[in-house]
Amino acid sequence: MDYAIQSGLIDEALVHVQAGAGGRGCLSFLRTRLRPKGGPDGGDGGDGGSVWLLVDGSLRDLLHFRQRRRFAAEDGRSGGGGCRSGRRGRLVEVRVPPGTRVYDSSTGELLGDMTSVGLRLLVARGGRHGLGNAHFKSSTNRAPRSVTMGIAGEGRDLRLELCLLADAALVGFPNAGKSTLLRAVSAARPRVAAYPFTTLQPELGVVEVDILTRFVLADIPGLIRGAASGMGLGHAFLRHLRRTSLLLHMVDASESSAQDICASLGAVEQELTAYSQELAVRPRWVVLSKLDVLPADEGARLCGAVRTLLPESLPMYGVSGVSGQGCRELMAAVAAHLDASP
Ligand SMILES: Nc1nc2c(ncn2[C@@H]2O[C@H](COP(=O)(O)OP(=O)(O)OP(=O)(O)O)[C@@H](O)[C@H]2O)c(=O)[nH]1
Ligand SMILES: [Mg+2]
């Protein structure tokens, strides 16, 4: 799959990678009773370990780099007597999600585009090993005392960049309160206004449920009857929903009866199906919005009435993007759902 999207939300991480140094060569001479002048036998050191980046298909963002930013591979060991070579340093593999672009942060050079799962990229080469004195033996110098040190491993500051795709999306009629909810739960600032079609392009926001859990939520322009046959929604619509595994279907609960709410849910469902068969089968939840407008008991009664009209298997939540009521619970449930889905 092609993950390279130019627009959208960018995730960024700065990491330092350090390869291991080569091990030094050994200075040694063979001395035994039978061979008192056995000659030089100092072995070479081992090469330093390198640092690689590896694309891991189970990762979705760069969040784990908040926990750890420095990655160092092992140094090579020194050589030994008896012409024993030192062990190589162990390499380090740093896992990144598909779609990560890798830059050298000091020069700005693009080092690689990590598009496909399993791809590996060498980002810091381990230092070469040093030579033991056995290496310098020649016909004119039978007892060399020279050895070389290993070479230092490469060190580099990297900037990782990833275009985030929406994990979940808000859909519904215009004015349902989608942008208001996105503002309430993320740092995204889509425009909100009391007229339909305020949002003309999908907007993305990162929802942080806790320090290690977050997902990308998309605010999709309002759908109306006939939207599927070309009104307003362009390519951008589907593009942002490629990886979206959950649709949150929002419906304004402030001025309607339970029957009206179900009728408008049905109308939007028809539009989605007409727009794309693929979207029609995505999991979805119903979200009743603007509950702050109703007195608490009336809101609860309305939610109960809608609940009885909907299929039992369809999850339903009530929220208000203005008062914040129900927003945390909904976002935590979405995060749990995303975590559990493949
Ligand atoms: N009282 C109240 N008003 C809300 C709530 N959510 C949205 N509104 C109002 O409803 C109107 C529409 O809100 P938006 O968030 O722009 O709706 P939208 O679904 O993004 O609309 P489009 O972008 O046109 O599809 C605005 O006037 C909001 O202030 C809510 O939870 N409570
Ligand atoms: Mg909007």
- Tell me the per-residue pLDDT of 110-160, one tens digit each, with 9 for 90 and over: 999 998 999 999 999 999 999 999 999 999 999 999 999 999 999 999 999
Is pLDDT above 90 for 82?
yes
Task: Examine the fold and report which residue of 140, 163, 186 is the final residue of a domain before the chain moves on.
Answer: 163
Which stretch of 36-50, 63-77, 236-250, 289-303 has the lowest confidence by average pLDDT? Answer: 236-250
Q: Looking at the domain assignment, is residue 114 inside a domain?
A: yes
230 and 275, same domain (yes or no): yes
Pocket test for ligand 1, best of 175, 219, 237 (most atoms within 8 A of CB): 175
Q: Looking at the domain assignment, is residue 75 inside a domain?
A: yes
Is pLDDT above 70 for 183?
yes
Determine what percent of the chain is predicted with pLDDT higher than 70: 92
83 in Cβ contact with 41 (< 8 Å): yes
| pLDDT of res. 179 | 94
Q: Looking at the domain assignment, is residue 1 inside a domain?
A: no
336 and 250, same domain (yes or no): yes
| Residue of higher predicted confidence among 238 and 334 | 334
152 and 180, same domain (yes or no): no
Is pLDDT above 60 for 1?
no
> Confidence class of residue 240 from pLDDT cuts 50, 70 and 90?
low
Q: Looking at the domain assignment, is residue 330 inside a domain?
A: yes
157 and 107, same domain (yes or no): yes
Q: Measured from the CB, is residue 180 less than 6 Å from ligand 1?
A: yes
| Residue of higher predicted confidence among 183 and 223 | 183
Q: Measured from the CB, is residue 174 less than 6 Å from ligand 1?
A: yes
181 and 52, same domain (yes or no): no
Q: How far apart are CA 95 and CA 72, in angstroms?
A: 14
Q: Say how many domains are in the chain.
A: 2
186 and 129, same domain (yes or no): no
Which stretch of 54-58, 63-67, 334-338 has the lowest confidence by average pLDDT? Answer: 63-67
Residue nearest to atom 26 of ligand 1 (CA): 194
Residue 197 CB neighbour total at 10 angstroms: 13
| pLDDT of res. 24 | 97
Is pLDDT above 70 for 320?
yes
329 and 257, same domain (yes or no): yes
CATH number, domain containing residue 287 = 3.40.50.300
Ligand 1 atom closest to the Cα of residue 191 is 16
Mean pLDDT of the chain, nearest integer: 89
Task: Examine the fold and report which residue of 163, 184, 201 is the final residue of a domain before the chain moves on.
Answer: 163
155 and 175, same domain (yes or no): no
| pLDDT of res. 173 | 86
Q: Looking at the domain assignment, is residue 170 inside a domain?
A: yes
Task: Examine the fold and report which residue of 128, 163, 198 is the final residue of a domain before the chain moves on.
Answer: 163
| pLDDT of res. 153 | 97
Q: Measured from the CB, is residue 63 less than 6 Å from ligand 1?
A: no
110 and 22, same domain (yes or no): yes
| pLDDT of res. 230 | 56
pLDDT mean over 235-239: 55
Beta bridge partners of 142: none
215 and 334, same domain (yes or no): yes
Q: Which residue from 216, 106, 214 is spatially nearest to 166, judged by alpha carbons?
A: 216
Q: Looking at the domain assignment, is residue 3 inside a domain?
A: no
| Residue of higher predicted confidence among 214 and 131 | 131
Taking the CA of 321 as reference, the closest ligand is 1
For residue 159 the two structure tokens come to 């900037």
Beta bridge partners of 216: 206
155 and 193, same domain (yes or no): no
| pLDDT of res. 239 | 58
| pLDDT of res. 225 | 61
Is pLDDT above 90 for 29?
yes
Ligand 1 atom closest to the Cα of residue 170 is 19
Q: Looking at the domain assignment, is residue 311 inside a domain?
A: yes
pTM above 0.85, yes or no: no
Q: Measured from the CB, is residue 163 less than 6 Å from ligand 1?
A: no
Q: How far is the CA of 141 from the centre of ligand 2 (A)?
A: 83
Taking the CA of 184 as reference, the closest ligand is 1
Look up the domain containing 135 and give its range.
Answer: 9-163
Is pLDDT above 90 for 281?
no
| pLDDT of res. 221 | 82
CATH number, domain containing residue 137 = 2.70.210.12
Ligand 1 atom closest to the Cα of residue 197 is 24
Is pLDDT above 80 for 236?
no
Q: How far is the CA of 241 from the centre of ligand 2 (A)?
A: 17
> Confidence class of residue 203 from pLDDT cuts 50, 70 and 90?
confident
121 in Cβ contact with 152 (< 8 Å): no
78 and 202, same domain (yes or no): no
Q: Measured from the CB, is residue 195 less than 6 Å from ligand 1?
A: no
Q: Measured from the CB, is residue 199 less than 6 Å from ligand 1?
A: yes
